[in-house]
Amino acid sequence: MSENARILIVDDDEALLEALPEALRLRMNGIQIDTSQTALEALDLIRKTDYDAIVSDIKLPGMDGLVLMTEIKQVRPGTPTLLITGHGEHDLAVRALRGGAYDFVQKPIDRDYFVASLERAIRVRRLDRQVAEQRVELERHARVLHNVDRGVFLVDDDDVIRFWNPAAGVITGLDAENVIGRRVGEAVPGWAAIGPEVPIATVPGPGSIQAKTLPLEIDGRELWLSISGVKFEDGIVYTFRNLTEDRALDELKSDFVATVSHELRTPLAAIYGCARTLLRSDLRLGEEDSARLLELIAQESERLTRIVGDILLANQIDARRLRLTDQEFDPVGLVRDVVAEVEAGLTGKEGISIEAVTPESAALVSGDEDRLRQVLLNLIDNAVKYSPEGGRVEIELELRDSGLRIAVRDEGLGIPHGEQQRIFGKFYRVDPQQTRGVGGTGLGLYICRELARRMEGRVSVSSREGEGSTFVVDLPLLPSSAREQAVRVAT
Ligand code: ADP
């Protein structure tokens, strides 16, 4: 027990300093004993060495044992100190204990008692050290668990959650205080379905088991988690990673590649077909037919240019390379121009009427006219595209105190409630397989939202499935004179 233990004996009695260590070495196997005759020298040694126990005479020349003990408490608060008192010095002994001595022995020293007490002191000191080391270790683990970006939680043998780290809270949106102490099946919605599917390792350690990707639905939000567990004596520790975004982006990307290839192929095929027809020497095409084919080539080339333009613009937005200009323009004129432009592109087959509702005239506003034109073109194009049965599309311009408001209304397919936020996401399409026969890249609304944001405005939607949609663009674009006034007021 006392093996490798190291103690210090402080006493000015030379005979005792010779005899006591001898006696202890005989009884305590492997004990290392340093000795010192003065308190000052002893303090020096104590500063250098973390002894398992210190034995000191209560009466020392220069500094008495009680004062020495106080000094020891400062330097080594955890080291037990045994004091040797003279025969019958009960008062001193009691003061020693009050002062924090571990024990005292009276002269003449009862060796059995002394050895037993010293051994106990060494044992306590060692346990203290172990506890301190374990606490540091535990604190380190706790810090790691607190800061890892993986969700970690512990479920005990009664299926009750006992630990839930902050990442688990962030990923699932379930706070530790709402889940700890509850059964996992009740606290984590959908656990009943995925719990039995989670692979559990019986041997801890990295790579001992392959995590599985499983879905969890929390508050209508679908989460994809890559999750695995490790079985311990008192429960299972689960770790998981959030794959939702990777997975959603992967899906969107593959949809995007499919739709874009389709979107590019359709006009290309039309252009190629027209060009080949025009080139045929065996066909005598009249002027009207040739003109129609050429017109088609021009239209389809424009469509191609727009698709490629959208892709490049989305990239520019993502890379934050988009620069806005600021020039004066007439918003009424802009809305009328855009409507005329879309109308000119209609073949007439759509059975759609487009109407602009604007004030007669308006003051000039300052902003990026081309970007606003792009937003309106996208919205009106969509209104036409997603009105397969025809109907009325209305563009209303309002000049408010806070800026421009432009609403684009249609009587088309409408957008399911659950999709109304997602349609503004990059590549997002409600119907990626084009079962409704309407093509697109899923970039249009993303571009609208981002352009509006850059202009410090916003785009919002309200819609009912089957009844049509209204997209509203609010931009803080004010007549130049009002803007000057506003600036003056602010300064
Ligand atoms: P797309 O190229 O697919 O039209 P958008 O980003 O412009 O891409 O639109 C995203 C999705 O929003 C479309 O796939 C469509 O389902 C839906 N959407 C946009 N505008 C309308 C609208 N006016 N009516 C119905 N659905 C619309």
Please identify, by atom number, the ligand 1 atom nearest to the C-alpha of residue 378: 7
Q: Which residue has the tokens 């819609």?
A: 463
pLDDT category, 74, cuts 50, 70, 90? very high
For residue 487, the CA-to-ligand 1 centroid distance in Å is 38
For residue 435, the CA-to-ligand 1 centroid distance in Å is 14
For residue 385, the CA-to-ligand 1 centroid distance in Å is 8
Tell me, using a 6 A CB cutoff, whether residue 440 lines ligand 1: yes
For residue 426, the CA-to-ligand 1 centroid distance in Å is 11
Is the model's pLDDT at 303 over the cut of 60? yes
Q: What is the pLDDT of residues 388-417, one digit of tens each?
A: 888 999 999 999 888 999 999 999 999 998
Q: What is the pLDDT of residues 246-284, one digit of tens each?
A: 777 777 777 677 777 888 888 899 999 999 999 988 888
Q: What is the pLDDT of residues 331-381, one digit of tens each?
A: 999 999 999 988 888 877 678 999 999 998 878 999 999 999 999 999 999
For residue 386, the CA-to-ligand 1 centroid distance in Å is 7
pLDDT for residue 33: 96
Between residues 481 and 91, the one the model is more confident about: 91
Tell me, using a 6 A CB cutoff, whether residue 249 lines ligand 1: no
Please check whether residue 65 is in contact with residue 59, taking contact to mean a CB–CB distance below 8 angstroms. Answer: yes
Class in CATH terms, 327-483: alpha beta
Q: What is the pLDDT of residues 46-56, one digit of tens each?
A: 999 999 999 99
Class in CATH terms, 149-242: alpha beta
Is the model's pLDDT at 487 over the cut of 70? no
Is the model's pLDDT at 160 over the cut of 70? yes
Tell me, using a 6 A CB cutoff, whether residue 122 lines ligand 1: no
pLDDT for residue 349: 63
Rounded CA gap, 243 and 256, in Å? 19
pLDDT for residue 432: 64
For residue 445, the CA-to-ligand 1 centroid distance in Å is 7
Rounded CA gap, 441 and 261, in Å? 9
Tell me, using a 6 A CB cutoff, whether residue 468 lines ligand 1: no
Tell me, using a 6 A CB cutoff, whether residue 374 lines ligand 1: no
Tell me, using a 6 A CB cutoff, whether residue 441 lines ligand 1: yes
Is the model's pLDDT at 485 over the cut of 60? no
6-142 and 327-483: identical CATH topology: no
pLDDT for residue 250: 77
pLDDT for residue 336: 95
Q: Going by C-beta distance under 8 Å and a sequence separation of 6 or more, which residues neighbour residue 283?
A: 277
Nearest CA to ligand 1 atom 16: 430
Residue ranges covered by each domain of the chain = 6-142, 149-242, 252-318, 327-483
Answer left, alpha or beta for residue 245, where phi above 0 means left and psi between -120 and 50 means alpha: alpha
Q: What is the pLDDT of residues 117-151, one digit of tens each?
A: 999 999 999 999 999 999 998 888 888 888 888 99
- What predicted TM-score, i.e. pTM, was given to this entire model? 0.55
* Helices 65-75 + 39-48 axis angle, to 10: 20
Is the model's pLDDT at 80 over the cut of 80? yes
What is 252-318's CATH topology? Helix Hairpins (1.10.287)
Nearest CA to ligand 1 atom 13: 429
pLDDT for residue 434: 61
Tell me, using a 6 A CB cutoff, whether residue 430 lines ligand 1: yes
Please identify, by atom number, the ligand 1 atom nearest to the C-alpha of residue 443: 6
- Right CATH for 6-142 from 3.40.50.720, 3.30.1490.100, 3.40.50.2300, 3.30.420.10: 3.40.50.2300
Is the model's pLDDT at 216 over the cut of 90? no
Give the closest residue to 93 by CA, choosing from 43, 59, 51, 52: 59
For residue 225, the CA-to-ligand 1 centroid distance in Å is 29
Number of Cβ atoms within 10 Å of the Cβ of 354: 20
Give 224's strand partners: 215
Please identify, by atom number, the ligand 1 atom nearest to the C-alpha of residue 310: 2
For residue 173, the CA-to-ligand 1 centroid distance in Å is 30
Sheet holding 458-464, edge to edge: 352-357, 391-400, 403-409, 468-475, 458-464
pLDDT for residue 213: 85
Mean pLDDT, the chain, as a whole number?
88
Please check whether residue 184 is in contact with residue 202, taking contact to mean a CB–CB distance below 8 angstroms. Answer: no
Tell me, using a 6 A CB cutoff, whether residue 410 lines ligand 1: yes
Instruction: Give a three-class secondary structure readout of the chain.
Output: CCCCCEEEEECCCHHHHHHHHHHHHHHCCCCEEEEECCHHHHHHHHHHCCCCEEEEECCCCCCCHHHHHHHHHHHCCCCCEEEEECCCCHHHHHHHHHCCCCEEEECCCCHHHHHHHHHHHHHHHHHHHHHHHHHHHHHHHHHHHHHCCCEEEEEECCCEEEEECHHHHHHHCCCHHHHCCCEHHHHCCCHHHHHHHCCEECCCCCCCCCCEEEEEEECCEEEEEEEEEEEECCEEEEEEEECHHHHHHHHHHHHHHHHHHHHHHHHHHHHHHHHHHHHCCCCCCCHHHHHHHHHHHHHHHHHHHHHHHHHHHHHHHHCCCCCCCCEEECHHHHHHHHHHHHHHHCCCCCCEEEEEECCCCCCCEEECHHHHHHHHHHHHHHHHHCCCCCEEEEEEEEEECCEEEEEEECCCCCCCHHHCCHHHCCCCCCCCCCCCCCCCCCCHHHHHHHHHHHCCCEEEEEEECCCEEEEEEEECCCEHHHHHHHHHHHC
Please identify, by atom number, the ligand 1 atom nearest to the C-alpha of residue 413: 25
